[in-house]
Amino acid sequence: METSFAIDLVQQADYRFEVRFDNPAVPVLVTDENAPLGRDAGPSPSRLLGTAVANCLAASLLFSMRKFKNTPDPIRARATVSLARNEQKRLRIGHIGVDLHLGVPAAKVNMLDRILAQFEDFCVITQSVRAAFPVDVRVFDSDGVLLEAPAAADAAMAA
C-alpha cells in the first residue's frame, strides 16, 4: 500500500504551472488561477480540490456498490464549491456539496442501506478535509430519488 507520493510543479508563466505526477503513465496537468489573476489555462487549485472530493466519493460509492455485486454504472457526480472569507478577509473554501447519481434505480441495488451508511468512510479526501470545512453528500438513483442512509432517515423521522 502506498503511504506517500510526490507531485512536482514547475511554473510556466505567471500563475500557470505544469504538474507532473510520480507515475509516468499519468499525463502532465496544467493548472492556473482564474482570470483576472491567472489566464484560465487549466483548473485552479480550488477546482482541483472540488474534483478530488467528488471523484473520491464517486469511487468510494462504486467500490461499496461492487463489494455487494452491484453494477451502478455509470455513476455521475457534481461538486458545488462555495468560497467564503475568513476573519482576516482571506478567501477560503467554505463548503463543498456533492451530488452522486447512480445509473440504476434503487430497487436494483443489493444492500443499499449498508452501502449508503458506509461508503463515505472509504473516501480518504473527504474525510481529510471535513476537519477544515463541511462536505455535504447526497445520493440519487437513476429515477432522481434522493437516497438516505438509515441513520439519516431515522433522524429525519424523529425531528
How does pLDDT run across 132-154, given as a tens digit for each residue? Answer: 999 999 999 999 999 998 765 55
Q: What pLDDT is recorded for position 155?
A: 47
Nearest to 61 by CA among 112, 107, 16: 112
- Give the dihedral sign, CA 23/78/66/148: positive
- Helices (H) then strands (E): counts for the chain: 4, 7
- Entry field: residues in the chain: 159
E-strand ranges in 22-127 read: 29-31, 76-85, 91-101
Confidence of residue 157 (pLDDT cuts 50, 70, 90): very low
Q: How confident is the model at residue 1 (pLDDT cuts 50, 70, 90)?
A: confident
pTM of the model: 0.91
**76-124 pLDDT tens trace:** 999 999 999 999 999 999 999 999 999 999 999 999 999 999 999 999 9
Contacts of 23 (CB under 8 A, 6+ apart): none
DSSP SS3 for 125: helix
* Euclidean distance between CA atoms 12 and 149, whole angstroms: 46
Residue 54 has pLDDT above 90, yes or no: yes
d(CA 4, CA 105): 38
